[in-house]
Amino acid sequence: MIHLEARQSPSRLMGLLSPVLALALTVAIGAAIFFALGKDPGRALAVFLLEPFHGARALAELGLKATPLILCSLGLALCFRSNVWNIGAEGQFLFGAIAGGGLALWITTAGVPMSGPLFLPLLLVAGAAGGAAWAAVVALLRDRFHANEILVSLMLVYVANLFLSWLVFGPWKDPNGFNFPQTVQFASVTEVPRLFRGMRINAGFPLALVAAVAMWLFMSRTYRGMQLQVGGPAPLAARYAGFSSRAAIWTTLLVSGALAGVAGAVEVAGPMGQLTPHVSMGYGFTAIIVAFVGRLHPLGCILSSLLLSAFLIGGELAQTRVGLPSALAGVFQGVLLLSLLGCDVLVQHRLRWRSAP
């Protein structure tokens, strides 16, 4: 029988190299999958892993795709470190998109005089308010009725999806949109400013980087951040020290919801320019993997967001150029997460063989 025995002093170097080993294992498994599908593994891997980094335009698209993942994963990393299991960042993303899209739609249809520099702060506030309000439902049910936040936050994703569908199929539907479920195109003044001419990457990307640095400072350099991280894994010690578990629940969920909401607002007013039922590509769920691959560290979330964004873009390219299935990006995400978990287990434990009793 195989038995896992905890190592008394796990290697710090191997702990740092664990994500690299997991990525290498993911590439090897991916090559085997391509070969089994009858494709050239070298060409398929080149399209999947290298093309997203080839050229300035590709890097701009990579940054655009990584923006919502960075913002969502930052809030989730804070929650998970505090032992608050928010699985509903997708729903909070959608409500941020609804709030931000609703603001842009009102300015467009009502002809409200507005300038771009003034609209962007309003958009961020609207998105943060929408996401935080949806996360507050989870916090309230957890705080007052001891409901499981995993189930509540996950089920609220479907409610948010249905509410968004009702809006774009009903009161917000474009009357001249040939019956498609979408709003009118937002006015140009509501567009998130682009960083470079001819490229879609916008001000949301540097905003996400600033948010990551701010989250790192909060978690590592402030007393409140220390409270949240101590109170999560050791609630009894936190209670003895006078830390409030209720405050931890509300703080982490509201911050996480606000960040996911900002991601949704920037997405709908940035590259999309209108509200549709497909405003999210599953960013809220992918951000869960991003947070763990990034070691629940704000700066690690940046690197893992870029990596997972490359998987998403590479999956689209592999579908059109090599003829691979559209679900390939999801397969790579799952393999990467499982590989990372396996590597972490072997860093912390060693395998021992025992004879069966």
DSSP string covering 76-113: HHHHHHTT-----HHHHHHHHHHHHHHHHHHHHHHT--
pLDDT at residue 238 tops 90: no
Task: Give me the pLDDT at residue 2, please.
Answer: 79
Helix or strand or coil: residue 184?
A: coil
Express each pLDDT in 271-324 by its tens digit. 899 999 999 889 999 999 999 999 999 999 999 999 999 999 999 898 888 888
Residue 225 has, within 13 A of its CA and on its CB side, a CA count of 14
**Could you list the residue range(s) of the whole structural domain that residue 304 is in?**
40-52+62-348
Position 343 in a domain? yes
Tell me the whole-structure pTM to 2 decimals: 0.93
Coil, strand or helix at 353: strand
The pair of structure tokens assigned to 27 is 């590439």
**pLDDT tens digits, 182-218:** 999 999 999 999 999 989 999 999 999 999 999 999 9
Judge whether 356 lies within some domain.
Answer: no
Maximum Cα–Cα distance across the chain: 80
Q: Which residue has the higher pLDDT, 10 or 354?
A: 10
The CA distance from 292 to 286, in Å, is 10
DSSP 8-state class, residue 6:
E
303 in a structural domain: yes
Residue 100 lies in a domain: yes
Q: Give me the CATH number covering residue 158.
A: 1.10.3470
Contact 301, 294 (CB under 8 A): yes
Q: Report pLDDT digits (tens) over 46-60.
A: 999 999 999 999 999
Percent of the chain scored above 70 by pLDDT?
96
Which stretches does DSSP call E strand in the chain? Answer: 2-6, 349-353
Contacts of 123 by beta carbon, 8 Å cutoff, 6+ apart: 100, 103, 104, 190, 192, 265, 266, 269
Report how many domains make up the chain.
1
Q: Which residues contact 111 (CB under 8 A, 6 or more apart)?
A: none
On whether the CB atoms of residues 136 and 152 are closer than 8 A, the answer is no
Mean pLDDT for the chain overall: 91
Residue 4 lies in a domain: no
In a domain, 220, yes or no: yes
Taking Cα atoms as reference points, which of 335, 354, 345 lies closest to residue 23? Answer: 335
Digit-coded pLDDT (tens) for 108-133: 998 888 887 889 999 999 999 999 99
- Residue 159 CA: distances (Å) to CA of 18, 36, 83, 162: 38, 39, 24, 5
